[in-house]
Chains A and B, each alone.
Chain A
């Protein structure tokens, strides 16, 4: 029996679906609301449901997803928001799907059919019994550990193995969480699930970016998606997806931006690159700009800052510079483009598409940087920290590496850095709030 691509896989070709505009908006609205409520739901046909009703469910699912895709396509910030929430939903559906065959089918879609095999197929192909040959029985099970994780007992098959061509799963190969045999990565679903999620997010992002042209070329489509786009924009404005310095006890008027010792490594690095090269990529500009804003820089300060540090300004007066490239800065401050008071991206988003010092800089250079910065400190302590950090980076635990670095720098514990602003807030407390220091001593 051939297995079909499951309907919960939203990158599936929807085929022929027809839906009128009113319903279409309603479907998207429902989906949006579920994302806001952080509701993770699966869809599969219950035995009592008749085919017509099931068809409607599918139309609602696909239609809602498609409309959201189109709605966010013109705005990179909204796009990364949708990619993140759809990514979480996908992960949930993937790990909780009761059918192992469906999981394989989805992997074949994501990685292309010729790059995915079952262990039985590998055994047959190489005339071997992988399980026996490598004595896999002695690798401890992980399911008990995962049952305690966020999806609890819903996870299925995480200890089962599949084979994926190694070049499709570089992060898993990198972390050595894979048995490599003749070019095939034999891997437990538990160890590949994050890589699968990232691949899904990558492909979704590409699809959304492609649909941008479609929306821009088609005025009536643009009008159709507008209500939903406005709604998402509104949500982005209201929900504090990230922490804000003003609510976290940093005194009003404190010029954090004049205290680089409080900056997280990603920001310091971006500043360094900007100063030496004179330009950053679009998303890096955004990351640095939103951070500096939250660090207390006024719009005029930022215009001055970018003017002084950019290469684009050669032969340009300050006023001319502001006129020509000031748009993005105004956007950051919400003075143009929807009036949103944007926050810098979360660490997760940085790792996936913006700039994370730990995820994107070479390990050798990181170790060099830390050595240079800490040359007056006890070398043994520094070496031990570098060792810990290296190990965390190699295992793709970038946020924990950042936490370990924070400990080396401040002596205070953060297990995992979630957001660049929480890093700065904590550093501020450590170095500038006397009351907190005292409290800490009493402990």
Chain B
């Protein structure tokens, strides 16, 4: 962080720079007054069950309360407040959100980073995860738009904008999540589910993207450990970079047609490079998540929209001080 995040600079950002119109284009104007907000204010006090009758009031709140972190939650049947906390009012709708954080990969990061620390090498895991999910949402689930935000520190959030998802109940959200999940108990046993026969588009995408990313980084030695012959391992490593649009057909040709080897290889590339999603964020329809374009109180960085995830690196996200220049 360049300098101390003072109350003045926070207020100044929310007065002068916070793009309320852009923010509103994501959450929508209808039902705005019934939308829950949450904030970390002053010295680390987390307040929830707050709602605003209009955007000016929201802005005023953020300007006046030295907001360190700002979060937006679900829509309810009446405005959430201290008298009507969200547990006691009826849930109406919530965006469908993915959260990918680099520290979810701690057990498989080989670059030496862990926790909040990242480098170009391990950040590629987050980029690949976002692209994979983005494609799956559009091609398999038929959603039209997914918007990716920088979370302000060590990850990204994907918001599925299609209205139909807003009414999904927990079972429907979990179903999508389970469809995407291949690594179970990610932070401990990391058990890997087999790639199913029937879900062809998903399987093809795993070969085209996840296997490719893994093989791009593989060495003949690492492949030999999976039971692949020396000759074949050398061939794979030599040829993988020559493909222009690697797809599942290429994978099927390149990899030996041996069930045991294939199974070992697929568990390995799933373990090493498959998306790891924070399930709670996607499942829990009452959770609040970082407000797009707000300031992250620890880094001073802005939760900006990521236009091109393949070329986005957190260091390039502007800080609140950058916006003042």
Asked whether any CB of chain B lies closer than 8 Å to the CB of A251, the reply is no
Output the nearest chain A residue to B194 by Cβ-Cβ distance: A391
Q: Which of B57-65, B198-206, B217-225 is found at the contact surface with chain A?
A: B198-206
Interface size, B (range):
20 to 34
B264 contacts A by Cβ under 8 Å: no
Min C-beta distance of A309 to chain B, whole Å: 22
Residues on the B chain within 8 Å of A178, using CB: 198-199
Q: By the criterion CB–CB under 8 Å, are B200 and A134 in contact?
A: yes
Q: Is residue B216 contacting chain A, with contact meaning CB distance below 8 A?
A: no
Q: Report Cα–Cα, A187/B191, bound state, in Å.
A: 27
Q: How far is the CA of A18 from the CA of B179 in the complex (A)?
A: 49
Is A369's CB within 8 Å of the partner chain B? no
B199 and A386 form a contact (CB under 8 A): no
Give the contacting residue for A166; candidates B141, B178, B197; CB below 8 A. B141
A residues within 8 A CB of B181?
394
B134 smallest CB distance to A (angstroms): 15
Check A367–B193 contact: CB distance below 8 A: no
CB pair A183 B143 closer than 8 Å: yes
Task: Assess the B198–A176 pair: CB atoms within 8 A.
Answer: yes
Q: Is the CB of A387 within 8 A of B142?
A: no
Q: A139-B197, A170-B171, A180-B202 are in contact. Are A390 and B179 (CB under 8 A)?
A: no
Q: Is B184 a contact of A180 with CB atoms below 8 Å?
A: no
Given contacts A167-B164, A173-B179, contact A181 B185 (CB under 8 A): no
B-side contacts of A179, CB under 8 Å: 198-201
In the complex, A242 has a CB within 8 A of chain B: no
Chain A residues with Cβ below 8 Å from B202 are 176, 180
Residue of A nearest to B136 (CB): A180
A394 pairs with B185, CB closer than 8 A: no
Within 8 Å CB of A167, what residues of B? 164, 168, 172, 175
Query: Distance (Å) between the CB of A371 and the closest chain B CB?
Result: 7
Q: Given A170-B174, A174-B174, A184-B142, A367 and B197 touching (CB < 8 A)? A: no
Contact B179 A134 (CB under 8 A): no
- CB-CB under 8 A from B171, the residues of chain A are 170
Q: Which residues of B contact A221 (CB under 8 A)?
A: none
Given contacts A173-B178, A174-B178, A180-B179, contact A387 B201 (CB under 8 A): no
Is there an interface contact between A387 and B184, defined as CB atoms closer than 8 Å? Answer: yes
Chain A: minimal CB distance from B173 (Å): 9
A177 touches B196 (CB 8 A): yes
Chain B residues positioned under 8 Å from A363 (CB to CB)? 184-185
**How far apart are the CA atoms of A181 and B143 in the complex, in Å?**
11
17 A-B residue pairs with Cβ-Cβ distance under 8 Å, sorted by A, are A166-B176, A167-B168, A173-B175, A176-B199, A176-B202, A178-B199, A180-B141, A182-B140, A183-B140, A183-B142, A187-B198, A367-B185, A383-B191, A387-B189, A390-B184, A391-B193, A394-B181
User: What 7 additional pairs, Cβ within 8 angstroms, besides A139-B197, A166-B141, A386-B191?
Assistant: A134-B200, A170-B172, A176-B178, A176-B202, A182-B140, A371-B188, A387-B191
Top 6 nearest A-B pairs (CB, nearest first) are A183-B142, A170-B175, A180-B140, A387-B191, A182-B142, A174-B178
